[in-house]
Amino acid sequence: MTILQTRRRFLASAASAAALGGLSTLLPALIPGAVRPAWAAAPLRLAVERRVLEVMGKPASVFGIRQPDGTSGLFLDPGQRFLVDLANRAGEDAVIHWHGMTPPYAQDGVADANRPLIRDGASQGYDFEPRPGTHWMHSHHGFQEQRLMAAPLIVRTVEDRREDAQEVTVLLHDFTFKDPAEVLAGLTGGTMDHGDMNHGGGHGGGHGGAMPMMNHSMDMKGMGDMKGMGGMTMAAMDLNDVEYDAYLANDRTFDDPEVVRVERGGRVRLRLINGATSTAFHIELGALDGTVVAADGNPVQPVTGRRFGMVMGQRLDILVRLPDEGGAFPVLAQREGERQRTGIILATPGATVNKVAGLADGAAGPVDLSLERRLTALASLAPRPTDAAFTIRLTGGMAPYVWTIDDRPFGEHRPLTVLKGQRVTVTMVNESPMAHPMHLHGQHFQVAALNGTALAGAVRDTVLVPMNGSATIAFDADNPGRWPLHCHNLLHMATGMMTELVCEQTI
Ligand SMILES: [Cu+2]
């Protein structure tokens, strides 16, 4: 729509946000391109659209976030500003969260009392300095994320440019032909009122077999992976709530995978994004040795291996070197607790590309903290005393299907309130029967303790809190606003596992 309309929306939101006291000082950041001088760079254009995706031979109506040339998401070069005009052509209201960015509060891409949804047919401008690294963008409204309203958001650094590695970005997803609201209704027994979560309406593309998986059966062939679970039995483990119809890597399954042409002896920087709504994956590199060099876009001390866990919302940058003799090398993502897998194939010129089965021989174990424990930030937080320490409990469960924080669903939550400039720690203690990938908006944090053991872990924005476990995160609150802190399992967030970090501006 027109700039005028967009600008009017901004002004309207400014008026309502003025009631927020200290936060109203943030509002100048909202002003979009209307005040930009004529010589400034033109905004990059992105549109939220509907599209038809063929999954296992069946068409499905899904969303996409694309540039005019069809590129999914954004790839910014060093020094480039996040100057974006986002058009909503989804056929319904939407809002896109820039996951991993640390923009001013008003531009985070979450609708709340101060920040309206982008109406169908309207546009919104964004202008902030992007945070380097492998990030992504996704709807933060209703169940749109389940219907693939998600895309990569890559911000390259000068060092990335120098390292002479081919960039290969992989966005993972879990896919259902069902209306996501039906999937949740199957879990809750349809007893909960989720009217406000269901903006999807009818879902084209047939009637697939996504069924709520209440019995959590697991393939026992995976027992070999279960070592180190502290004697926990399989029956006590609760890994996956939903049986999906497919698992996607860049929108494709192993029926018809993406084959990326790479050089013999060449180096590849895999930018892996777990964009699934409810699925943790094990990344399997097969014959290739990988070196993790960044977590959630932040550099880490290099960690080598061939198998790395990734929970929902997380990103890993992994460097691999192709052998001089070349060949075809699948990069696999296997669903935790199960045999299903997806992925892409790296292939050198002339290599024979064999079919990769969509089911692994054995089930994978759970994604745990084994990688997290090995990660160390290249740039740790400066040592200083903590000004504000919080402990929250991750609560709720399967029956009824309600997930909460401190036994309170979002809406009845108690925000964690801090002042700008404070050193903050938040210890998340998991008292619920599932693991939760916890994501904080607005700032990245350092993982400061896992299960009570202190460490100078990765700086990141999403951390796994395993069942019976805990994680402590630390950060300097430097970004005023009301920032969601939530589980990145969409179904858990939808039923209530979300609170807010309120960072108040001091004068
Ligand atoms: Cu959760």
- The tens digit of pLDDT for each residue in 6-33 reads 333 333 343 334 333 444 444 434 444 4
For residue 37, the CA-to-ligand 1 centroid distance in Å is: 45
User: CA 155 to CA 273: how far, in whole Å?
Assistant: 13
State in Å: Cα 484 to ligand 1 middle.
14
What separation in Å is there between the alpha carbon of 314 and the centre of ligand 1? 14
Answer for the pair 361, 221: CB distance below 8 angstroms, yes or no: yes
Q: Which residues contact 220 (CB under 8 A, 6 or more apart)?
A: 234, 363
Backbone dihedral region of 380: left (phi > 0), alpha (psi from -120 to 50 degrees) or beta?
beta
pLDDT over 70, % of the chain: 82
Residue that is written with structure tokens 């400066």 in the block: 382
Instruction: Using the mean position of ligand 1's atoms as its centre, give its distance from the Cα of residue 464 in Å.
Output: 9
Mean pLDDT of the chain, nearest integer = 86
179 confidence band (pLDDT: 50, 70, 90): confident
Give the model's confidence band at 383: pLDDT under 50 very low, under 70 low, under 90 confident, else very high.
very high
Which pTM does this prediction carry?
0.86
Q: What is the 75 CA–ligand 1 centroid distance (Å)?
A: 30
Q: How far is the CA of 435 from the centre of ligand 1 (A)?
A: 6
If you measure from the C-alpha of residue 468 to the centroid of ligand 1, how many angstroms do you get, rounded to a whole number?
13
Between 204 and 10, whose confidence is greater?
Answer: 10
Query: Distance, CA 214 to ligand 1 centroid (Å)?
Result: 16
CA of 487 to the centre of ligand 1 (A): 5
Phi, psi of 409 (to 5 degrees): -75, 160
Asked if pLDDT for residue 57 goes beyond 60, the answer is: yes
Residue 24, exposed/middle/buried by CB under 10 A (0-12, 13-18, 19+)? middle
Cα 492 to ligand 1 centroid, rounded to whole Å: 5
Q: How many residues are given for the chain? A: 507
Centre of ligand 1 to C-alpha 443, Å, is 20
Task: Examine the pLDDT at 114 and tell me if it is beyond 90.
Answer: no
Checking phi first, is residue 411 left (phi over 0); if not, alpha (psi -120 to 50) or beta? left
Is the predicted pLDDT of residue 447 greater than 80, yes or no? yes
> 23 in the Ramachandran plot: left (φ > 0), alpha (ψ -120 to 50) or beta?
alpha
Residue 494 has pLDDT above 80, yes or no: yes
pLDDT in tens, 158-174: 999 998 999 999 999 99
- Model pLDDT for residues 393-416, shown as the tens digit of each residue: 999 999 899 999 999 999 999 999
Q: How far is the CA of 442 from the centre of ligand 1 (A)?
A: 20
The pLDDT of residue 37: 52
* DSSP letters spanning 75-133: EEPTT--EEEEEEEESSS-B-EEEETB---GGGSS--BTTBPPBPTT-EEEEEEPPPPE
Q: Does the pLDDT value for residue 228 go beyond 90?
A: no
Q: Does 208 score more than 70 pLDDT?
A: no
**Helix (H/G/I), strand (E/B), else coil: 372:** helix
Distance 146 CA to ligand 1 centre (A): 15
- Amino acid identity, residue 415? P
The reported pLDDT for the residue numbered 190 is: 64
Q: Count the alpha carbons within 13 Å of 280 in the hemisphere toward its beta carbon.
A: 29
* C-alpha 72 – ligand 1 centre gap (Å): 27
Closest CA to 50 of 38, 61, 66: 61
Least confident stretch, 11-15, 245-249, 448-452: 11-15
Q: How far is the CA of 460 from the centre of ligand 1 (A)?
A: 18
- What is the model's pLDDT at position 79? 93
Q: What DSSP designation does 408 have?
A: B
Quick check: 461 pLDDT over 70?
yes
- The SS3 assignment for 197 reads helix
Tell whether the model's pLDDT for residue 216 goes beyond 80.
no
DSSP 300-320: EEEEEESEEEE-TT-EEEEEE
Spatial distance between the Cα atoms of 52 and 62, rounded to a whole number of angstroms: 6
Tell me what the mean pLDDT of segment 380-399 comes to.
Answer: 96
Helix (H) or strand (E) holding 11: helix 3-17
H/E stretch holding 370 reads helix 370-374
Phi/psi at 181 (5° precision): -65, -35
At 239, is the pLDDT very low, low, confident or very high (cuts 50, 70, 90)?
A: confident
Residue 237: what pLDDT?
54
Å from CA of 125 to ligand 1 middle: 32
- pLDDT, one tens digit per residue, over 339-350 is 999 999 999 999
pLDDT value of residue 240: 85
What is the 437 CA–ligand 1 centroid distance (Å)? 6
CA 187 – ligand 1 centroid, Å: 14
Q: For 500, which DSSP code?
A: E
How far does residue 455's CA lie from ligand 1's centre (Å)?
Answer: 24
Helix ranges, 88-195 (H): 158-162, 180-188
DSSP designation for 22 = G
Cα 491 to ligand 1 centre (Å): 8
Where residue 185 falls among pLDDT bands split at 50, 70, 90?
A: confident
CA of 144 to the centre of ligand 1 (A): 18
Reported confidence tier of residue 188, pLDDT bands at 50, 70, 90: confident
More reliable by pLDDT, 201 or 378: 378
Kindly list the distances between the CA atom of residue 111 and the CA atoms of 73, 96, 108, 316, 461, in Å, as whole numbers in the listed order. Answer: 20, 9, 9, 28, 19
**Mean pLDDT, range 142-149, rounded to an integer:** 96
pLDDT exceeds 50 at position 452? yes
Task: Residue 497: name the closest of 361, 415, 405 by CA.
Answer: 405
